[in-house]
Structures are given as structure tokens and as C-alpha cells.
Chain A
């Protein structure tokens, strides 16, 4: 099963709002929830959003997730320098068999 499709990069100035898209299919996002991870080089990925819209404890409310059909989005409001990282969406895929599929990843740059 193919990775979920994300833009390679997005950028914004401090304080701005950026949105990262994640495009899947009826076999994954279309029927399963989406998770989002933040990954800084040299560290372990961090779960930012689970169940498509839920922030785990400790994640700032600047991060929000949404879904629509076979796509999902992660919005970062009030962009901060420490938000510069790679971001991955992920969802379970059911075709041909169940597996956890990561997105292609998006590099967020704070200008």
C-alpha cells in the first residue's frame, strides 16, 4: 500500500498559521482515523494528534487536526521557531491487509 501523500515542505513566519495536508484513499483515511507525529532530527517522533482530532496531554492547542473524506489536515497556529520539524500523518490501511501507513512527511520551516 502506498504512503499517504503530503507536501514536501511548508513554511511560515512566526505567529502565522500553516496547514499540512495528507491525502489517502477509501482504504485508509476514508475508513480509519488519522494520527500526526512531529519528528525532530536525532529524536524520537512525538504523537501530536490521535483519533484525527485529539491532542494528547501536553500538546499545545496551537496544533489541531481535521479530516474530510479521504484527506486529513494538521494546522499549526501561532507558528513558533520550535515548531520547525518534520511532520507525518499516519493511518491504518485495509488494502490488501491491515498495516499502519505513514505519510511521506512534510518539513515545516519557520522563516
Chain B
């Protein structure tokens, strides 16, 4: 049973970079795409982007200038960096697996608060 676990700071200062990691267990990272999704307080789900094990990425155009998703296959984990954060980036961040038929596996989510 594949499991995903997000980790990273719960508090980030405005203008700095938000960095999160998602560790994969129970399955190979060299399959499917690996995704980041977020949900701001009181808002809906927003797809941030995804990465394939080869390193190929696709980002949400609205975040593209600030986002980098990377992958470390040797450690079975992938990461999210979001630069120049503001209060609008405060959200629960989820990592997930995209098997081309949707997102069947999700991490539990981690709350990141941007402080001024």
C-alpha cells in the first residue's frame, strides 16, 4: 500500500521560500506522476504542478514563475519550492500520486502559514 508523507516548516516568513518534501513508501517512485495540491483557508483545491521520475515538470501557469518541483529517486521523495511567498500562500499543502486516471493516493497534508 503506497503511502505519502509531507514534511517541512509550518511557518514561513513573507518574501521567503516555502520548501516541502513528500516521502513515498510502499511503491516505486519511478512510475506515474507526483503532484502538489494546496487548499487555502476557506478556499477550494488548487493544483500546483507535477513531476515525472525523469524530472519532467508541468506547473500551474498562475504559479509557474515562483514554483520548482524536484525529485530524488534515490531517496524516494519529491519536493516543492515556492518562492516570494505572501499571506495568500497560507494553505494546507498536499502531495499526491497521479496515475493518469486521477489522484488516487494523497498525503495527509501539512499546514503552512506565511507570517509577516
Q: How many residues of A contact B (CB 8 A)?
A: 26
Contact digits for A39-55, partner B, Cβ 8 Å, 1 yes 0 no:
10001111100110010
B108 touches A90 (CB 8 A): no
- Known interface pairs A96-B61, A98-B58. Does A50 touch B45 (Cβ–Cβ under 8 Å)? no
B44 touches A56 (CB 8 A): no
B109 touches A44 (CB 8 A): yes
Residues of A within 8 A of B101 (CB): 35, 50-51, 54
B102 touches A50 (CB 8 A): yes
CB distance from B29 to the nearest CB of A (A): 19
B81 CB-CB contact with A under 8 Å: no
Contact digits for B64-98, partner A, Cβ 8 Å, 1 yes 0 no:
00000000000000000000000000000010001
Q: How far is the CA of A44 from the CA of B107 in the complex (A)?
A: 7
- Classify chain B's interface size: 20 to 34
CB distance from B63 to the nearest CB of A (A): 10
A44 touches B94 (CB 8 A): yes
In the complex formed, the residue of B with least CB distance to A44 is B106
B47 touches A99 (CB 8 A): yes
Contact digits for A1-27, partner B, Cβ 8 Å, 1 yes 0 no:
101000000000000000000000000
Q: How far is the CA of A50 from the CA of B105 in the complex (A)?
A: 13
In the complex formed, the residue of A with least CB distance to B103 is A47
B61 touches A99 (CB 8 A): yes
Q: Which residues of A contact B (CB under 8 A)?
A: 1, 3, 35, 37, 39, 43-47, 50-51, 54, 56, 88, 90, 96-105
